[in-house]
Chains A and B, each alone.
Chain A
C-alpha cells in the first residue's frame, strides 16, 4: 500500500454513459498525476495538478475527459459519453518531488 487510494477499483459501464473516478493522494503531496494504461503497454500521462491548479494536459485528454482537484486534496477524473476505446486502467499518482511518484492501485474501466 503506497498511501494513494483510488475508488472504485473496477467499473463496468455501457457505451455512452458517464463515469467518475476518485483519487486520494498522500496528504502532504502537492503534485498529482493521472495516467492511463492499456493491456501490454506502459502507462500514458494524462494530466498533472500542482495543488489545485491543472498545469498540464496531454493531447490524449480529449474534451470528453475532465479532471479536477478542488482545494488541492483529492482529485476526480470524469469521462463523458464513454467509448469502448476508453477501456483501460486509470492510474493516479502523487508526489512531493518531480519524478518520485507514488502510484495508487488503479481503477479498471470496462466499457461494453
Chain B
C-alpha cells in the first residue's frame, strides 16, 4: 500500500487559512488522494478527494502537485470546530474494495 507522510501537528489561528501538507512520493498512476478528518470522540469524516486536478467543495480545497508526489489540503478560514486529526490517504483506484489505509495524520490545533 502506498504511503503518505504528514507533519505530526500544526497550529492555526481562528479565521485564518490553513494549509495541511502531505507527501506521497510513491504514488502510482491510479491512486486517488483522499482526506479525512477525525474530531475528538468521533469517527472519521470524509473531507475531499482527487486524482490529478485540484478540487473544491464546501469544506475545503485540495491542491495536487503536477507530479502528484504531494498534495495540500486547504481550509480557507479555520474555525475552532476544525480542530481535529487530518488524514491524507492514498486509495488504489484499481481496487474495487475502497478500503482506506490510515497513517498517523496531522493533529490541527486552532487557537482563538
Contacts and interface: CB of A to CB of B under 8 A. Distances in A.
Contacts of B32: 99
B45 A98 contact: no
Interface in A22-47: 31, 33, 35, 41-45
B87 A98 contact: no
Interface size class of B (residues with CB under 8 A): 20 to 34
Contacts, number: 61
Contact of B102 (A43, A50, A97, A100): A43
Interface string A37-73: 0000111110010100001100000000000000000
Interface stretch (B62-70, B72-80, B90-98): B90-98
Interface of A: 2, 4, 31, 33, 35, 41-45, 48, 50, 55-56, 91, 93, 95, 97-106
Given A43-B100, A48-B97, 10 more contacts: A2-B43, A2-B45, A48-B98, A50-B96, A93-B43, A98-B97, A100-B49, A103-B42, A103-B45, A105-B43
Interface of B: 32, 34, 42-46, 49, 85, 87, 91, 95-105
